[in-house]
Amino acid sequence: MAAIVTAEGLRKSFARRGSASPPVLDGLDLELGEGEVLALLGPNGAGKTTTVRILSTLLRPDAGRATVGGYDVVRDARRVREIISLTGQQAAVDDKLSGAENLTMMGNLAHLPRRVVRDRVDELLTAFDLTAAAGRRVGTWSGGMRRRLDLASGLLTRPRIMFLDEPTTGLDPRSRLALWDVVRGVVADGTSVFLTTQYLEEADRLARRVALVDGGRVVAEGGPARLKREVGEAGVELVLASAPDAARVAAGLASATVDGARVRVPTDGSVGHVRSVLAAVEATGVTPEHWEVRAPSLDDVFLALTGHTGRARPASSAGVAA
């Protein structure tokens, strides 16, 4: 897959002369393939927003080189701006205007022909499920609706690349799911998406590839499934009433490990294997207080490689033995 965004050795520091503060970016390399979603993950202060600001021409790097759509972000900044859109962490909409007026204003600022603006506004209001509220002042809208309007504004010119900097921060779960559907639709229409997020489940659901940045550099990159496999394997985890009970259960299970009153058995995740594990446990006569099938998540990748915890909870399937 051809790269539509590239960064090579990007460096950026905001420290004053003589300061000992480390650089925000310290030789960052990454690529966004055409037609894909790349999620940039990392702890606060890792350089995610700084990377977005450089790639969208809002900041100049101290060193290194970046291209967007084949254009250099420093030398060809104007050309880059013609093919991208940027949605920041706060919705950039005018509360005093209606939804339709907001989109019309943005279309006029982009110098689109009047008829094109009118048709495009109607199209986007329908696509983002905002038609019913189009005539109301945006100040009366919910946070999720305002976020959808912000994304719609960025699509008026049909950008080749969309930069989304933590677009769902502060949204409720329903609004977040609705925005995920919007992003999937944008990608299906041919736009490449560069996403930063602190919600690891969001990256897992949307991104074809993930780049984990820490200390100003990419420390891991690849598909979410591959990164999770590298951290560890799935397992059936059981919580017993006591350590002796755990030892008794583990004695009847192949490859089981014991940690106090907890027992873990590696699994391929199939229903058949999980059933066989539970049947072996039942045969011991000991009833677990709790059990779950737990697979590594992007939380585990994040923690293992950065030493920081993310916001999302690990994905698991849990149950209580009868």
Residues ≥6 apart with Cβ < 8 Å to 5? 30, 31, 32, 38, 55, 66, 67, 68, 69, 161, 192, 194
pLDDT digit string (tens) for 17-68?
A: 666 678 999 999 999 999 999 999 988 888 999 999 999 999 999 999 999 9
More confident of the two residues 189 and 11: 11
**Three-class SS of residue 56?**
coil
Tell me the average pLDDT across 125-151. 90
Token pair 């919007």 is at which residue? 182
Full-model pTM: 0.77
* Dist CA 134 CA 153 (whole Å): 13
For the chain, the residue count is: 322
Tell me, what DSSP letter sits at residue 59?
A: S
Q: Which whole number is the average pLDDT over 1-8?
A: 91
Question: Per CATH, the architecture of 3-228 is what?
Answer: 3-Layer(aba) Sandwich (3.40)
Residue type, 293: V
Least confident of 48-62, 237-251, 266-280, 302-316: 302-316
How far apart are alpha carbons 105 and 98 in whole angstroms?
Answer: 10
Q: Which helix (H) or strand (E) covers residue 252, if one does?
A: none
Query: What mean pLDDT do residues 89-102 have?
Result: 88
CA 236 to each of CA 233, 268, 303: distance values in angstroms, whole numbers, following the listed order: 10, 10, 21
| Whether residue 225 has pLDDT greater than 50 | yes
Task: Over range 187-216, report the average pLDDT.
Answer: 91
- Tell me the sheet residues that pair with 220: 212
Query: How far apart (Å, rounded) are the C-alpha atoms in residues 28 and 288?
Result: 47
Handedness of CA 274, 277, 279, 282 (dihedral sign): negative
**Can you give the pLDDT at residue 313?**
38
CATH class of the domain defined by 231-319: alpha beta
Tell me if 194 sits within 8 A of 67, measured CB to CB.
no
DSSP codes joined into one string, 146-169 = HHHHHHHHHTTT--SEEEEESTTT
Convert the pLDDT of each residue in 151-192 to its tens digit. Answer: 888 888 889 999 999 888 877 888 888 888 888 988 998 999
Q: What pLDDT was estimated at residue 316?
A: 39
Helix 143-154 to helix 114-127 angle (10° resolution) is 140
Terminal C-alpha separation, the chain: 50
Q: What is the pLDDT of residue 318?
A: 42
- Residue spans of the domains in the chain: they are 3-228, 231-319
Q: Is the pLDDT of residue 304 over 60?
A: yes
